[in-house]
Amino acid sequence: MRRFSLILAAFLALPTSISAAAAPSRSVPANLVQAIDRARSKVYPALVNISVVVRYFDDGRAQRTLAGGSGVIVTPDGYVLTNFHVAGHTTRITCTLPTGQSMDAATVLDDPLTDLSVLKLQRTSTKTPLPFARLGDSSQLRVGDFVLAMGNPLMLSSSMTFGIVSNTRRVFTDFTGTEIENVELDEGEQTGLLTRWIQHDALILPGNSGGPLVNLQGQVVGINELGGSGVGFAIPANLARRVLRYALHGEPIKRGWIGINILPVSKIQRTTGALVSFVVPSSPAQKAGILAGDIILSLNGAPVTARYFEEVPTFYRQISALPIGKPVHVRYLRGAQVHEAVVEVARLEQYIGKEEEVKSLGITIQQITPPMALIRRYPNANGVLVTSLRAGYPFQAAQPPVEEDDVVLAINGKPTPNLSSFQQAVARLGKQSFTVSLRRKDENLLTVVHPPDESAAEEGGELPHAWLGIQTQVVTPDVAAAIGMPGAQGFRITEVYPWSAASSAGLRVGDVITALNGQALEASRLQDASNLEHAIQDLNIGAKGKLAILRNHKSITIDVPLEAEPSSPSQAAKAQEKEFEFAVRDVTPYDRIHRRWSVAVTGVIVTDVTTGGWASVAGLQPDDLIESINRRTVNNVTDFKAVMKAVIAARPKVIRIFVRRGYLTQFVFIQPDWKHLNR
C-alpha cells in the first residue's frame, strides 16, 4: 500500500467501531478452528512474498528503490496475482514462497485501472509442481462472513490475520455525497472506476498489498489493496478473474468507452437510469449529441440502473464490456422526452503515459495521453511532457532554461509529437547547439540548448612538496618539563609512518628535533606547530635533511632523505562510473595511515553513491574499499576503469563487488536492468 487520495485518507481517519483483527482464541468453537486450518492449508502454500526494484523518475534521471508486497499463485504453471502498485514500474521482481524457495518473475499484464498485475514465475525446473490457490465467487460474500488475509505485513513474510467482511460493495465518495472518489496510486494512476471493494477487518498493513483475501472454503475471494485504522479493502476476485483471463490468453486489456461521467439518480427521485454529469469533448457521446443532465435509460436495450453510488462502477463495467468500434444504441431521457442515439464505442485509454529518461540531456519526459491533455487543459496531446530536470545538464542550463511541466513540441524545427519522435530527434543531434520549441502554459517559447562540456579531467593535483614522514607536537615549556628536558625547544615526534624514509632512517616516537640543517628550531609556542613542515617544504625533494635530535637526554644527528609529499585524497586519481552512478578514487598513503591498512591492501575507495542508482540499490556505500569486481583484482583507478569496461561489455546478470568496510569484508551484488542502461 502506498498512497491514497485525500478523501480516502480522511475516511480511514474517522472513528470506527471495527477492531483490528485478532487470532481466534481458545473460546472459538472447534469447527471454526478446523475450517480456518483447512482454508489456510489450501491457500497459504501459494502465498508469495514479492520483492521488487521500483524504477521511478526524479531530478532529471531514472532512479530505483527497493520495495515489496504480496501475491498469490493462481494457476499450476505459476501465474501470480498481485497489485499494480506493487509490481508496476519495476525492473526486477523476486517471489519467495513460505518454504523459502525464491524465483524471479516477469510481468505479463499490468492494469492500473483495477490496480492489478499478473506475473509469471520463471522456473528453472518444472519437475516439482507448484502450489496454487483457486479463485472463488466474490459475489457470494455476505456481510459477517469470516475471511483470512494472507501476506507480508511490514515485510514480515508469510503472515495471516483473521476477520469478518463488513461491506461487500464499498465505494468512496466525497463528504457531500456528490462525487465518487478514485484512489490515486503513487505514479499518478487512478483506480476505482470499475471497483466495488470488499471491506473487512482482517489486519492489513503496508506489505499486505496484493495478498489474497480467503474465505473459509479455502478460495481466494479478493486481492487485498488498501488498509489502515483497523479496516482493509480488497479487489473482488470476480474482477481479478477477468484481468487474469486476458493474461492467460496473451491479450492486451481492451475496454469500451463512450466519454461520459455519471451520478446516481436517487437525489433526483428516480429509481432507474444514470444521470450524465459530464461529457468529454470530442468523445463518441458528444458526437452523438448526448448532454450533461440527460438520464441514460438503456444500452442496446439493456436497462441501466445507477440509483446509488454503489451501482456506479456497475454501469462503467457495462460500458467497458461493449465491443470497441461497434455502435451502441443509447436510450436517454432529456426533460420529459425520451431520445435515442447511436454511439460508436471507442477504446478506454490509459490515463498516464509512458515515462523515460534522456541521460545526455539530463531530463525525464512523459508521453501525453488524451486524458492527460484533457485534465491539464492542453489544446491537444501532441508533444512530450518534461517531468524533471537534472541540475547542470543541457536542458536545465539552456537559455532560457527548460522547466518542469514544459511541453517539448519540436527540436531543430522538427515536431516531436510523442516519445518515439523525441528520442529519434535526440539521436540525430551532434555536438552542436540546437533549438527546442516549448509550450509553457499559454506561452510558446524557443530556447537554445548547448551540448555538455566533457573536457573536464577526472584527475587533478598540484606540484608536490618535500615531505618528512612524521607527526610532531611543539615542545612547549610544560611539555619540556614533563619529558624531563626543561628549557628544551623544538618538535617532539608523536608518530613515524612505517612505510616512510623517516622510519627507515631510524627516527622514533619521543625524539625531539631541535635543528634542521644546522638551523635551530626555536619552537616553544602552539602557534609554531607548522614551522617544521614549512621548513621541510622549502627544501628540494631528494635532498637530505640533517636533523639534530635529543633522544633519552643525548644529542644525536640523523640524515633523512626528503620524499615527495604523498597525494592527499583530494589529489588522488578519480573515476566516475556513470552507468551504475558511483565514484571512486585511488588509495593514498594518508588512507593507509588513518585506516591502519598495510601496503598489501589495495583497491579504490568509493567517494560517492548517487541515491536511486543501481549501486545505491545494491547497498554500496561511501568509504567502501573495492578490492575486486567479478573476481578481477582492482588495484587502482586504472584497473577499475578497465574492469568496469569489460563488465559493461559482458552484461552479466550479477556484478559481484568485494569490498572492505570498516574492519569487515563483504560482497555487494549489483543486478542491473541492462535494457535501461547505456543510453
List the catalytic residues.
Answer: 85, 115, 209
Cα 529 to Cα 523: distance, rounded to the nearest angstrom = 8
3-state secondary structure of 530: coil
User: Which cell numbers hold the place of 432?
Assistant: 552542436
Cell numbers representing residue 483 in the block: 619529558
Place of cell 481517519: 13
CA pair distance 119, 77, nearest whole angstrom:
11
d(CA 52, CA 73): 17
- What residues does 299 pair with on adjacent strands? 302, 330
Nine cell digits for residue 29: 468453537
566-580 b/e (C-beta count within 10 Å ≥ 16 → b)? bbeeebbbbbebebb
Peptide bond into 589 cis (omega under 30): no
- Rg (C-alpha) for the chain, rounded Å, is 35
Distances (CA, A) of 643 to 628, 649, 668: 9, 10, 16
What are the grid coordinates assigned to 397, written together? 542550463
Contacts (Cβ under 8 Å, ≥6 apart) of 189: 84, 88, 112, 113, 351, 352
CA–CA dist 109, 113 (Å, integer): 12
Residue among 217, 99, 209, 228 at smallest CA distance from 155: 209
Alpha-carbon distance 136 to 39, whole Å? 12
Q: How does DSSP classify residue 124? A: S
Encode burial over 2-41: b for 16+ CB neighbours within 10 A, e otherwise. bebbebbeebbeeeeeeeebeeeeeeeeeeeeebbeebbe
Cβ(419)–Cβ(391) below 8 Å: no
Residue 216, exposed/middle/buried by CB under 10 A (0-12, 13-18, 19+)?
A: middle
